[in-house]
């Protein structure tokens, strides 16, 4: 028959814990607390992260081109797409230029 030890009283456990803290060096206690605190922080972070909203599904539209498209049509479309990109870049550059002027930054 297995014999289990009697449970300790909370006051006895607390007294043992205080005696342990008194006889240890302060740096050991600090590192013991840090080693307990780090996993608690990590688990807490995972818990709160799991409660945030899940990312929503993203719909990506892809242009469908006919297989009979010629190289000239491809080049023409690429030039048109490049003009759109250049216009967007120029607009963004002008916005940054306006911001730099407002902040008084030399350019």
Write the pLDDT tens digit of every residue in 6-28: 888 989 988 988 888 788 788 88
SS (H, E, C) the chain: CCCCCCCCCHHHHHHHHHHHHHHCCHHHHHHHHHHHHHHHHHHHHHHHHHCCCCCCCCCCCCCCCCCCCCHHHHHHHHHHHHHHHHHHHHHHHHHHHHHHHHHCCCC
Q: Exposure of 66 by Cβ count < 10 A (0-12 exposed, 13-18 middle, 19+ buried)? A: exposed
Residues 82 and 76: their CA atoms lie apart, in Å, by 10
What domain range is 70 assigned to?
Answer: 66-107
pLDDT in the model for residue 21: 78
Q: What is the pLDDT of residues 64-95, one digit of tens each?
A: 888 899 999 999 999 999 999 999 999 999 99
Q: What is the pLDDT of residues 26-70, one digit of tens each?
A: 888 888 889 999 999 999 999 998 888 877 899 999 888 888 999
Q: pTM of the entire structure?
A: 0.41
Domain check: are 40 and 73 in the same one? no
Domain check: are 45 and 70 in the same one? no
Domain check: are 101 and 70 in the same one? yes
pLDDT in the model for residue 44: 96
b/e 21-35 (16+ beta carbons within 10 angstroms → b): eeeeeeeeeeeeeee
Asked if the structure places residue 2 within a domain, the reply is: no
At 94, list the tokens: 């002008």
Domain check: are 72 and 107 in the same one? yes
Domain check: are 41 and 74 in the same one? no
pLDDT in the model for residue 63: 83
Domain check: are 45 and 14 in the same one? yes
Q: How many domains does the chain have?
A: 2
Asked if the structure places residue 15 within a domain, the reply is: yes
pLDDT in the model for residue 107: 62
């Amino acid at each position: 028959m297995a014999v289990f030890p009697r449970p300790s009283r909370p006051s006895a456990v607390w007294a043992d814990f205080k005696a342990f803290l008194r006889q240890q060096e302060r740096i050991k206690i600090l590192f013991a607390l840090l080693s307990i605190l780090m996993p608690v922080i990590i688990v807490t972070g995972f818990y709160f992260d799991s409660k945030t909203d899940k990312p929503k599904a993203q719909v990506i539209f892809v242009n469908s081109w006919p297989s009979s498209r010629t190289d000239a049509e491809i080049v023409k479309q690429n030039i048109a797409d490049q003009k759109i990109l250049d216009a967007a870049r120029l607009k963004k550059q002008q916005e940054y230029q306006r911001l730099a002027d407002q902040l008084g930054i030399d350019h």
